[in-house]
Amino acid sequence: MRQLILDTETTGLNARGGDRILELGCVELVNRRLTGNNLHFYINPERDSDPGALAVHGLTTEFLSDKPKFGEIVDQFRDFIQGADLIIHNAPFDIGFLDAEFALLGLPQVKTHCGEIIDTLARAKQMFPGKRNSLDALCDRFGISNAHRTLHGALLDSELLAEVYLAMTRGQESLVIDMLGEAQSSGAADTPRVALESLELLVVTANDEEIAAHEAVLDGLDKAMKGASVWRFEPAPATDEQIT
């Protein structure tokens, strides 16, 4: 399973009003593991940033003047996202800007190139209704350090969001899922999946010394409650009514 955590920085808030993308970052996850195969561009937006946006990202027109234009990086970006799920915080914002950039180049929308688009802001609102669900707030909630985040940056924010997403979805993991993931990522694409029936659980039985210690604990419980503790009784076998 290939997923990309994506973030953009822009000249302002209104893609339809002519604001442009000036930074683009993608962090790759394969089977819920960071690969280090990331994609990052500074982009010449061919216009100045609004003062409010500049205060957020700090990327000046002078700094961006010699960077490639979006049309020069779009093919590499499309190849990178091909077939992957995109994980974005407030996805309508970033996808709206990407679609606007694609439209300027006569290209179809982003959704035609990628798999599912997952909005972590929408999911966070479902998980934590009525609470702040900005990226900073989620980092605080999940104990993820963002002390080095003085300005917004597409790659840095993507790396933080990757940690947040894994923390948000950690309950979906299991031993079997992890084993399947390792099997798929360690070899070729045709690596066979692990057969569940082949999994063997190690059974460790108590030795005589451990059994004696256990009985001593039960004796102490019996003495304290002046009777047999519940641990002395085996559960009654299920009746037919209970089974049905």
pLDDT in single tens digits along all 244 residues of the chain: 899 999 999 999 999 999 999 999 999 999 999 999 999 999 999 999 999 999 989 999 999 999 999 999 999 999 999 999 999 999 999 999 999 999 999 999 999 999 999 999 999 999 999 999 999 899 999 998 877 665 678 888 999 999 999 999 986 543 334 444 444 444 444 545 555 555 566 667 888 888 888 888 778 777 766 677 666 666 555 555 555 4
148 among known catalytic residues: no
Do both 121 and 216 map to the same domain? Answer: no
Instruction: Confirm whether 17 is domain-assigned.
Output: yes
Do both 237 and 152 map to the same domain? Answer: no
Rounded Cα–Cα distance for residues 67 and 59 (Å): 12
Q: What pLDDT sits at residue 199?
A: 59
Provide the domain count of the chain: 2
Domain end position, chosen among 144, 172, 200 = 172
Q: What pLDDT sits at residue 242?
A: 52
Q: Residue 214 sits in which domain range?
A: 208-243
Pairing of strands 117-119, 85-88: parallel
Residue 18 per-residue DSSP state: T
Q: Which helix (H) or strand (E) holds 52?
A: helix 51-57
pTM of the model: 0.68
Do both 164 and 212 map to the same domain? Answer: no
Among candidate residues 40, 89, 152, 214, the one labeled active-site is 152
Instruction: Confirm whether 88 is domain-assigned.
Output: yes
